Amino acid sequence: RETLTTNFDHVYESGVDNEVLDDIFGHTQTNEVNKPLEALVDSGFSVVVLLIGSKATQRRTAFQGKGKGDYGLIGWTCERVFEKLNLKANSLGRNAFEFTAEVSMVEIYDEVMTDLIQPSNTAVEVQLDPHIGYTIAGSERRQVAGVEDVQMCIDYARENCNTHAFPTGNAADSRSAVFELLVKQVMKDDQDEWPMTVRLLVVDVPPTDKLAEEEEMLRAQQGTTLHRSLLSFRSVCKALSRKHDMWNAPFGQSKLTAVLQDLLGADSVVVNLTFLNSGEPDVSLATLDLVERLNSCTHFPIEKSEGSFVQGLLESYRARLLALVNQTQLSQAGAEESSTEVADLLGRTRVLERELIETRIECNTAKDDGVKVFKLLELFKAKYNQLVDDKADQAKQLIGAEEAKLQAGSALLELRLEHGRVQQQQEDENFKLESELLRAKTLVTDLEMKLSEAKQEAENKALAADEASRNNRESSGELTVARKRLVDLKQQFDREVAAHSETGAQLISLVNKNNILLTENTDLKVLSGSQKEQLEKLTQERAQMDSSLREKSGAYEDMRNEKLKLEIEKQHASVHYEQDKLDNQKGSHEELLHLRTQVDELSRASQALEASLRKETRRAERLERDMAQKEGDYLVSESKQKVLEEQFALEQEKYRVKLLNVLAPTNPDQNTVADAIASAKKKKKKKH
Report, as an integer, the average pLDDT of 47-54. 92
Burial of 359 (0-12, 13-18, 19+ CB in 10 A): middle
Q: State residue 313 phi and psi, 5-degree precision.
A: -60, -40
Residue 99 forms beta bridges with which residues?
185
Q: State residue 143 phi and psi, 5-degree precision.
A: -80, 130
Other beta carbons within 10 angstroms of residue 633's beta carbon come to: 13
Residue-level pLDDT at 52: 93
Q: What is the CATH number of domain 18-297?
A: 3.40.850.10
C-alpha angle with apex 316: 310 to 320, nearest 5 degrees? 145
Given pLDDT bands bounded at 50, 70 and 90, which one contains residue 329? confident
383 vs 607, higher pLDDT: 383
Query: pTM of the prediction?
Result: 0.48
Residue-level pLDDT at 33: 47
* Domain residue extents for the chain: 18-297, 358-635
Measured CA to CA, the distance from residue 165 to residue 230 in angstroms comes to 22
Residue 496 has pLDDT above 80, yes or no: no
Given pLDDT bands bounded at 50, 70 and 90, which one contains residue 228? confident
Per the rule left: phi > 0, alpha: psi between -120 and 50, beta: everything else, 72 is left
443-475 burial, b if ≥16 CB within 10 A, otherwise e?
ebeebeeeeeebeeebeebeeebeebeeebeee
26 vs 114, higher pLDDT: 114
Q: Which residues contact 541 (CB under 8 A, 6 or more apart)?
A: 603, 606
Residue 413 has pLDDT above 80, yes or no: yes
Residue-level pLDDT at 618: 76
User: What share of the chain in percent tops pLDDT 90?
Assistant: 9
Helix orientation angle between 147-163 and 72-92, rounded to the nearest 10 degrees? 160
Q: Which secondary-structure segment (H or E) carries 271? A: strand 269-275
Q: For all residues of the chain together, what is the average pLDDT?
A: 75
Helix (H, G, I), strand (E, B) or coil at 127: strand
Residue-level pLDDT at 202: 94
Residue 101 has pLDDT above 90, yes or no: yes
Query: Hey, which of 97-111, 361-375, 567-581 has the most confident mean pLDDT?
Result: 97-111
Residue-level pLDDT at 579: 58
